[in-house]
Structure 1
Amino acid sequence: MIDPHLQHVPRLGRHPSRFRLAGTPVITVMLGSLATTLPVIAQSPVMPPFGLLLLLSWRLLRPELWRTWIGVPLGLFDDIASGQPIGSAMCLWTITLIGIDAVEHRMVWRSYRQDWLIATFAIIFCIAGGVFFARITGGGDIKLLLVAPQMVWTVLLFPFVVRQCARIDRWRVMA
């Protein structure tokens, strides 16, 4: 008699757990937000906001995954992790998600280039808005010209992050 634990269990017909389906995107965005805590020494802000990149990637890759309000808790976590004024990412990410929803309702179909263009505007808006919030809360005299390399680097990094999110998504929905 063969031990039932050693028999092959077919994967067909099995479903991934609810935590795996719902938790994986949230955890990846939170880990992306924690990337700002890495000890990187630079003269100017060059580290891309990985939390924002992952949020945009998941939102544009899987529009049905999240509601618009997800920007509030994930933005709060990003604010706490990055040291930005509390409420800045909450506000900016929620406005960005509302804007993406508005654009999606007007489009009949979307291509990869349009997703990249949408992400470009969202990245520029969120980084410029972060500079604005830092200035009005007494965060120093940050010039928008100093964060231009960060914007360019983040926009150029977006396709790579989307590809990684697609790879994680294949694992996420796999039984």
Structure 2
Amino acid sequence: MIDPHLRHVPRLGRQPSAFRLNGTPVITVMLGSAVTILPVIAQAPVMPPFGLLLLLSWRLLRPELWRTWIGLPLGLFDDMMSGQPIGSAMFLWTVTLIGIDAIEHRMVWRSYRQDWLIAALAIIFCIAGGVLFARMAGGGDINLYLVAPQMLWTILLFPFVVRQCARIDRWRVMA
């Protein structure tokens, strides 16, 4: 028999669990990186790097959420999922987060368009850097014009991913 006083527990004043607050962003980035294991067949690299998109979305949406070093473990997971040379996403994501930190310290305020521009520059840097790392590891003759559609598609997809992260964030902080 349930105690009648415990039947209704008010949600006001309750805090979400620490795992929900801290784990949700990490899990979403890891799920975004794991999208690359889906059996999608394409003639050219057109699939956007969802792990990177989610990392940038969370970082620009909630700057206080992560420290800069979070690029190392999440980048390692992305490298293992995507098949890129180990260390490429670790390096590129960490440098990107350091760059975003440097930009944020110089700006008094940011608008949505500035966030999109920051994300676009980060996306171009990370995809071009991934191509460079793949070439250095003997990944064949990959030219930048082959990944230009992937860059464009990823940049255009960024606002949608930020909106989805905002929805997840509302759930994350809700008690």
Q: Scaled by the length of structure 2, what TM-score is found?
A: 0.98
Percent identity, aligned pairs only?
Answer: 87
- In structure 2, C-alpha distance between the alignment counterparts of 1:76 and 1:30, rounded to whole Å: 10
> CA RMSD for the aligned pairs?
1.3
CA shift for structure 1 position 8: 1.8
The match for 2:10 is: 10
- In structure 2, C-alpha distance between the alignment counterparts of 1:48 and 1:137, rounded to whole Å: 21
CA shift for structure 1 position 89: 0.1
Where does structure 1 lack aligned partners over 5 or more consecutive residues? none
CA pair 129-2 structure 1, distance change in 2 beyond 3 A = closer
Shift >4 Å, 4+ stretches = none
CA shift for structure 1 position 9: 1.2
- In structure 2, C-alpha distance between the alignment counterparts of 1:158 and 1:118, rounded to whole Å: 11
The match for 2:85 is: 85
CA pair 14-122 structure 1, distance change in 2 beyond 3 A = same
The match for 1:66 is: 66
The match for 1:134 is: 134
CA shift for structure 1 position 4: 3.2
Output the amino acid matched with 1:32.
G
- In structure 2, C-alpha distance between the alignment counterparts of 1:154 and 1:79, rounded to whole Å: 18
Where does structure 2 lack aligned partners over 5 or more consecutive residues? none
- In structure 2, C-alpha distance between the alignment counterparts of 1:38 and 1:137, rounded to whole Å: 24
Matched, 1:106 2:106: yes
Aligned residues: 175
- In structure 2, C-alpha distance between the alignment counterparts of 1:62 and 1:53, rounded to whole Å: 14
Q: Scaled by the length of structure 1, what TM-score is found?
A: 0.98
CA shift for structure 1 position 71: 0.2
